[in-house]
Amino acid sequence: MTGLKVFCVWVLAIAVTVVDGQSRIAYVKTQETTVLDAKEWSTNSEVVAIPFQFSGTNILLEAELSNQKGLFILDTGAPTLIINEPHPKKEVAANGVNAAFDMENTVVKLFKIDKAEWKNIPAYALDLQQLESSNKQKLLGLIGYSVLKKHELLIAPKEHMLYLLPVDESLRLDERMPLAITNLVLEDHLPIIEVKIEGHTWRFGIDTGAESNLISEKCLSQLTASFYEQKGINNIRGLDKITQTRKILRLQKIAIGGLGFVQVDFTEMNFDHLSEGNTLKLDGIIGSDLLSKMKFSLNYRKKNFKIWEKY
């Protein structure tokens, strides 16, 4: 793979919070212009049912990487496979949320999830030790967009099941009509939907690798002070090992596709660095804190997001 020479990446591991539990966020933003794609796909025309486990609210599933089996985080905020490598070669200049570090370009010859199989996937390698420590699990990597994009992704948290589906197969797998459906757009690799908050419409990314929901300072500034209350703080530590302290805010209500969710917690963040040098406009992230409270599907090819159940 001819690789990226300048690489901008945002990967956060939220380490400490004063509310119950811990939060980890793995969102990766690149400025790469090369299209990441698997060279060969052996399974994208049948239903693949995959059991998973939770670590916090992050989804961990077993997969096989070049004959090595282990756990991966399902991360719709990652552009492709990201492989855990303690000592990556210094091939790629990367920027974290606060400082720079190095990454490596690589190609995964064979990757399997259950009976689904991919070959020759352009990927990245970096040290995920902080994510391993916070998850208290040995991790082989993150599963991102280039692996998922030819499927409809159906996630059923109550059943601890992930389904990789042919396009629109979810309508046959679940006989009920969805509670809500909304369009999505892809900016870079990130699926973005419209979220309504206090009469305003905002652009939020869907990121299963983010354990917390995030809201931009710009979005927050448009809300009336009585619409939210501070519930605590997050001490955010990125891969650059620099800590930031951010507020946790509880919003009275948000709506996705007309379906309301009340008393939703968000961590306040500044997203300005993500839009530097590109057209990405992001007002927040819907993370697994909220996604774990619904059965939902993400259709990359038809570009829609469906909510089937609300827990």
Indicate the domain borders of the chain.
6-38+47-170, 176-310
Task: Retrieve residue 216's tokens.
Answer: 């931009």
* Tens of pLDDT, residues 190-206: 899 999 999 999 999 99
Superfamily of domain 176-310: Acid Proteases (2.40.70.10)
Higher pLDDT, 133 or 64: 64
Residue 244 has pLDDT above 60, yes or no: yes
One fold for both 6-38+47-170 and 176-310?
A: yes
Residue 62 has pLDDT above 70, yes or no: yes
pLDDT bucket at 29, cuts 50 / 70 / 90? low
Phi, psi of 34, rounded to the nearest 5 degrees = -70, 135
Task: Read off the pLDDT of each residue in 259-277 and give the average, rounded to a whole number.
Answer: 84
Q: What confidence score (pLDDT) does residue 33 get?
A: 42
Residue 176 has pLDDT above 90, yes or no: no
Q: What confidence score (pLDDT) does residue 121 get?
A: 93
* Tens of pLDDT, residues 83-105: 999 887 877 665 544 556 677 88
Q: What confidence score (pLDDT) does residue 26 get?
A: 56
Task: Read off the pLDDT of each residue in 156-180 and give the average, rounded to a whole number.
Answer: 84
Query: By the 8 A CB rule, do 282 and 205 touch?
Result: yes
**Residue percentage of the chain with pLDDT more than 70:** 75
Q: What confidence score (pLDDT) does residue 241 get?
A: 62
CA dist 290 and 211 (Å) reads: 9
Residue 278 has pLDDT above 70, yes or no: no
- Residue 297's contacts (CB-CB under 8 Å, 6 or more residues apart) are 152, 153, 154, 155, 165, 170, 178, 305, 306, 308
Q: What confidence score (pLDDT) does residue 212 get?
A: 86
Strand, coil or helix: 35: coil
CB atoms within 10 A of CB 292: 19
Q: What confidence score (pLDDT) does residue 240 get?
A: 61
Query: By the 8 A CB rule, do 82 and 142 touch?
Result: yes
Q: What confidence score (pLDDT) does residue 28 get?
A: 56
Q: What confidence score (pLDDT) does residue 130 get?
A: 82
CA dist 144 and 95 (Å) reads: 19
Q: What confidence score (pLDDT) does residue 211 get?
A: 83
Higher pLDDT, 42 or 273: 273
Q: What confidence score (pLDDT) does residue 91 get?
A: 72
Higher pLDDT, 87 or 251: 251
pLDDT bucket at 262, cuts 50 / 70 / 90? very high
CA dist 288 and 272 (Å) reads: 22
Residue 235 has pLDDT above 90, yes or no: no
pLDDT bucket at 8, cuts 50 / 70 / 90? very low
Task: Read off the pLDDT of each residue in 6-18 and give the average, rounded to a whole number.
Answer: 43
Residue 300 has pLDDT above 80, yes or no: yes
CATH numeric code, 6-38+47-170: 2.40.70.10
